[in-house]
Amino acid sequence: YLKPKYEYTIFIRSSEMQVKLFNHVVDVELNQSKSQSSFSFNSLFKLFETFLLIGLHPAALTIREDRLANNLDDDFYKMDNTENGKAIKEKIALDDIPVVDGHTSQIINVIKNTPRWYEKYFSEARDMSNLTLSGKLYVLNAIIEDSLKHRQKIVIFSQSLVCLDLISRYFVTGIMYPPDSKSKYWVENKNFYRIDGSTSLSHRTNYITLFNDKKKTDVKVMLISTRAGGLGINLKGASRVVLCDSSWNPSWEVQSMFRVYRIGQDKPVFVYRLVSEGVLEE
């Protein structure tokens, strides 16, 4: 029989900088979009993504724009094939904006040729490594610390590759809680694994096998894109699940937590859903 599952939704206050960024998006970006003919569904979808990234950490905006400028996909833009997902695809197609590898050419041109609006508040050189600018990452770090002290493995889900990029960067640069007493820095493919849409089937299978192996005590964390790893995999080696952001489709979150809470799990499972308080995500 399965051990208990405990779910916690943690509402997290925004930092002063995050509040300024939220207000800017509402007061400037949103009002500007409304003034331009019609406010499309695609604009609303992108606005929601921007709010999620600000709620993660202001640095996520920098990473997002770098990915778009380099024409790299983010899982946030990849829809599922449910009826709801198909309907959204059709609605976005009606916006009649030319698409280049999952991104609109319009968005790419704006990113390459326009100063980044958030630089008025956020300095990459000064603020990139400041964990206190994000309540979410501060809480995530505390969950990681507590889990490692109890020798429990953690699976961290996000619907955005930007989020996974940022957490990975904070791991390898020693900003997050260290993997053990011997090292300040995390090592990818040793202390943590990452599965997203670009991960090959052979690597995915190998990562899951090693992560679930109780003898592999060096492995602490699995970072997973909700779209790529929310279905059809078994991560019973973990007992802690963190959902870093809220999905427009709640079934993705349910499927994610059941990657860990499933037949073969011999420990109580703790699920932490991180939600930015008082903004669009809540």
Q: What is the DSSP-derived secondary structure letter of residue 156?
A: E
Residues 32 and 148 reside in one and the same domain: no
Residue 107 lies in a domain: yes
Q: Are 182 and 101 in a shared domain?
A: no
Residues 156 and 257 reside in one and the same domain: yes
- Evaluate if pTM is beyond 0.95: no
Burial class (CB in 10 A: 0-12, 13-18, 19+), 124: middle
Residues 206 and 235 in one domain: yes
- State how many domains the chain has: 2
Maximum distance among all Cα pairs of the chain, rounded to whole angstroms: 60
CA dihedral 58, 166, 109, 197 (to 10 degrees): -140
In the predicted model, is pLDDT for residue 252 greater than 90?
Answer: no
Q: Considering the domain boundaries, does residue 27 fall inside one?
A: yes
The residue out of 65, 95, 124 marking a domain boundary is: 124
d(CA 159, CA 52): 10
Q: Is 281 among the domain residues?
A: no
Domain boundary among 109, 124, 139: 124
187 domain-assigned: yes
Q: What percent of the chain has pLDDT over 70?
A: 78
Asked if residue 171 is part of any domain, the answer here is yes
The answer, yes or no, to whether residue 29 has pLDDT greater than 70, is: no
Task: Identify whether 240 is part of a domain.
Answer: yes
Is 282 inside any structural domain? no
pLDDT in tens, 162-185: 999 999 999 999 999 999 988 999
**Phi then psi dihedrals of residue 119, to 5 deg:** -65, -15
Which residue, of 124, 155, 173, is where some domain finishes? 124
The range of the structural domain enclosing residue 241 comes to 5-11+131-276
Is residue 182 located within the same domain as residue 241? Answer: yes
253 and 202 share one domain: yes
- Domain at 233, CATH number: 3.40.50.300
Distance set, CA 59 to CA 22, 173, 246, 251 (Å): 14, 15, 19, 28
Tell me: do 114 and 213 sit in the same domain. Answer: no
Give the model's confidence band at 64: pLDDT under 50 very low, under 70 low, under 90 confident, else very high.
confident
